[in-house]
Amino acid sequence: MGMDVIGKDPISEVGRYFRNNVWWWRPLATYIVQEHTLLAVGCSHWQSNSGDGLNAEQSQALADALDADLASGKVAQWAAEYAAEVAALPRETCWLCEGTGVRTDDIGVQHGFNKPRDPETGRGGCNGCSGIGTTEPPAASYPFDVDNVREFATFVRASGGFEIW
Ligand SMILES: [Zn+2]
């Protein structure tokens, strides 16, 4: 599952195509919409595969803005703050074992997940949480970093406008 972003009138190979899986795409699109609301407004559906996007002029303006953010360190700061926010979120009760660390359902019993995890062998315990009873919050699955923004900015600059599919 992901976003295929297609250049409408690419001026080079790099402007033809950009892809993020959905976990990488969500924070990237959120950054653009939050930090550059007026530049992003030409596209109403950043978070869906509906073919919405920006035209050539809008894309140039966005590429300029993203390059400026990369140069000023704004993206790096945003990435650090985002990572800190995610790290501060509480872990969630594991839905597979309801926080007990062992699975007593049929599948759990069949695979030996119904016995507490043996720290020596790493065997046993719930397979959803490694027997801990909690899992990372969903937000931890949505990464954001400088390289991904740089890659997207490079694509956008050469795309001649783009559509998100
Ligand atoms: Zn569990």
- Please, how many CA atoms are within 13 Å of residue 44, restricted to the half-sphere of its CB? 1
**Domain interval for residue 21:** 2-87+143-164
Cα(103) to centroid of ligand 1, in Å? 7
- Which tokens hold the place of 149? 């923004």
Are 113 and 150 in a shared domain? no
Residue with tokens 């009873």: 133
Query: In degrees rounded to 5, what are phi and psi of residue 124?
Result: 80, 175
Cα(94) to centroid of ligand 1, in Å? 4
Q: List the pLDDT tens digit at each of the 165 positions of the chain.
A: 899 999 999 999 999 999 999 999 999 999 999 999 999 999 999 999 999 999 999 999 999 999 999 999 999 999 999 999 999 999 999 999 999 999 999 999 999 999 999 988 888 999 999 999 999 999 999 999 999 999 999 999 999 999 999
Are 10 and 30 in a shared domain? yes
Give me the number of domains the chain comprises: 2
Are 36 and 71 in a shared domain? yes
How many Å apart are CA 146 and CA 80, to the nearest integer? 10
Are 9 and 58 in a shared domain? yes
Cα(125) to centroid of ligand 1, in Å? 8
Q: How does DSSP assign 109-132, residue by residue?
A: HHTTTTS---TTT--SS-TTTTTS
